């Protein structure tokens, strides 16, 4: 199934595996690419050295093209860009605080720039700054998310842009792929569905929480870092909602310092990045400080295997998923169902 997205990224199918922090590791990315999709490495929670190691690990597993995700406001962003250029990475993804000079450097090196946005105005701005394509995430999507549902937001963005648009938020199967194509998208991007696979590095007991979750339990809360995030409601989130504002700020300072140490950055570059994020996103300085909460509390569930003591970012679609297939089996099933749906639609011609 060839679309503008497959032509742009060099993959067989118009299916993207998103760069979930602590989840999108080299094994998951390589498995996705080998199965015909396009995977992004979660570089936003890695040091530049770890990004290099991740890229090299992917290349040992597959010769297919792949991408890297990172934050352009982070202290190591320019080094990560140089690493991506050095290794001929096919694409990069990013979200908050894009940098026009960095985007130009990537494009000049022939790297596809494909940010994720959650609002029409952000999609338009992304293209003005040089994006080659845009992933548009409806409010059903996991992690940081917008306010508009996919079936409303997607056609708005498709009508407004002249670059390929990828649908995200609420997709898991071939029916969803055909629906997105019918709206004018060039493909779909999925996070939660790939998290819930055999190759996902998420601990088994944490995956079990995703399998058991129902759609009503997967809510949006701003408690974690001051920005709306969709997560599975669990004991950790329940406790956060009763924590005082001062307690949340103290937690943010601790987590921010821990994240800074983990990524190898120093305090001054971290504060500079926080200030840049504040300016570009209209966030309060308290919100930028609280941004350190998310990666460390997600790590507790996704890496340490303590789902009740950490945060579980999730799209609402998890409430419709009850299995953990191998990635190759998942993508094959998606494409088989998509072709079947296309055939069934011919009766209406």
Q: What distance in Å separates the CA atoms of residue 343 and residue 349, rounded to the nearest whole number?
A: 11
Greater model confidence, 101 or 270: 101
> What are 209-260's pLDDT values in tens digits?
999 999 999 999 988 777 899 999 999 899 888 877 677 666 666 666 666 6
Decide if pLDDT at 127 tops 90: yes
Q: Comparing 30-39, 42-51, 269-278, 295-304, which segment has the lowest mean pLDDT?
A: 269-278
Q: Is this prediction's pTM over 0.85?
A: yes
Q: What distance in Å separates the CA atoms of residue 12 and residue 343, rounded to the nearest whole number?
A: 20
Decide if pLDDT at 289 tops 60: no
Assigned CATH topology for domain 4-203+322-348: TIM Barrel (3.20.20)
> What are 315-344's pLDDT values in tens digits?
999 999 999 999 999 999 999 999 999 999
What would the 3-class secondary structure string for 304-320 be? CCCCCCCCCECCHHHHH
Greater model confidence, 258 or 101: 101
Q: What distance in Å separates the CA atoms of residue 297 and residue 313, rounded to the nearest whole number?
A: 10
**pLDDT for the residue numbered 240:** 84
Tokens representing residue 7 in the block: 């032509």
3-state secondary structure of 35: coil
**pLDDT for the residue numbered 241:** 84
Greater model confidence, 222 or 190: 190
Q: Report the pLDDT averaged over residues 295-301.
A: 84
Q: Report the pLDDT averaged over residues 151-170.
A: 98
Q: Where are the alpha helices (DSSP H) in the chain?
A: 4-9, 26-34, 48-61, 77-86, 100-108, 120-128, 150-160, 174-183, 192-195, 204-212, 235-240, 245-263, 267-281, 285-290, 293-302, 327-345
The single residue listed with the structure tokens 């996919």 is 150
Q: Output b/e per residue, 141-173; b: 16+ Cβ within 10 A.
A: bbbbbbebebeebbbbbbeebeebbbbbbbbbb
Length of the chain: 349
Q: Report the pLDDT averaged over residues 71-95.
A: 94
Decide if pLDDT at 204 tops 80: yes
Percent of the chain predicted with pLDDT > 90 = 76
Mean pLDDT of the chain: 90
Q: What distance in Å separates the CA atoms of residue 9 and residue 247, rounded to the nearest whole number?
A: 45
The residue ranges of every structural domain in the chain are: 4-203+322-348, 205-316
**pLDDT for the residue numbered 278:** 45
**pLDDT for the residue numbered 270:** 53
């Amino acid at each position: 199934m060839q679309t503008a997205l497959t032509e742009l990224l060099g993959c067989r199918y118009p299916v993207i595996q998103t760069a979930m922090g602590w989840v999108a590791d080299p094994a998951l990315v390589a498995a996705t690419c080998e199965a015909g999709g396009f995977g992004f490495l979660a570089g936003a929670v890695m040091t530049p050295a770890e990004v290099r190691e991740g890229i090299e690990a992917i290349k040992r597993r597959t010769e297919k093209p792949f991408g890297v995700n990172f934050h352009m406001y982070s202290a190591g962003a320019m080094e990560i860009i140089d690493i991506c250029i050095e290794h001929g990475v096919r694409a990069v993804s990013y979200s908050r605080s894009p940098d026009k000079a960095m985007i130009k450097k990537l494009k000049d090196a022939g790297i596809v720039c494909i940010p994720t946005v959650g609002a029409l105005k952000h999609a338009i701005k992304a293209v003005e700054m040089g994006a080659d394509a845009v992933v548009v995430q409806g409010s059903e999507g996991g992690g940081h998310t917008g306010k508009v549902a996919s079936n409303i937001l997607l056609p708005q963005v498709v009508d407004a842009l002249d670059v390929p648009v990828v649908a995200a938020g609420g997709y898991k199967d071939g029916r969803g792929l055909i629906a997105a194509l019918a709206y004018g998208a060039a493909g779909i991007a999925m996070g939660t569905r790939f998290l819930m696979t055999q190759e996902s590095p998420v601990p088994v007991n944490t995956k079990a929480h995703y399998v058991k979750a129902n759609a009503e339990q997967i809510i949006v809360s701003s408690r974690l870092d001051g920005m709306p995030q969709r997560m599975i409601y669990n004991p950790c989130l329940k406790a956060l909602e009763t924590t005082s504002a001062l307690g949340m700020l103290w937690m943010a300072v601790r987590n921010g310092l821990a994240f800074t140490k983990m990524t190898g950055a120093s305090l001054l570059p971290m504060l500079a990045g926080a200030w840049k994020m504040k300016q570009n996103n209209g966030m309060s300085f308290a919100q930028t400080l609280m941004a350190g909460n998310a990666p460390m509390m997600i790590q507790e569930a996704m890496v340490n295997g303590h789902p009740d003591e950490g945060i579980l970012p999730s799209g609402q679609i998890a409430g419709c998923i009850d299995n953990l297939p191998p990635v190759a089996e998942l993508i094959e099933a998606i494409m088989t169902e998509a072709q079947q749906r296309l055939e069934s639609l011919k009766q209406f011609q």
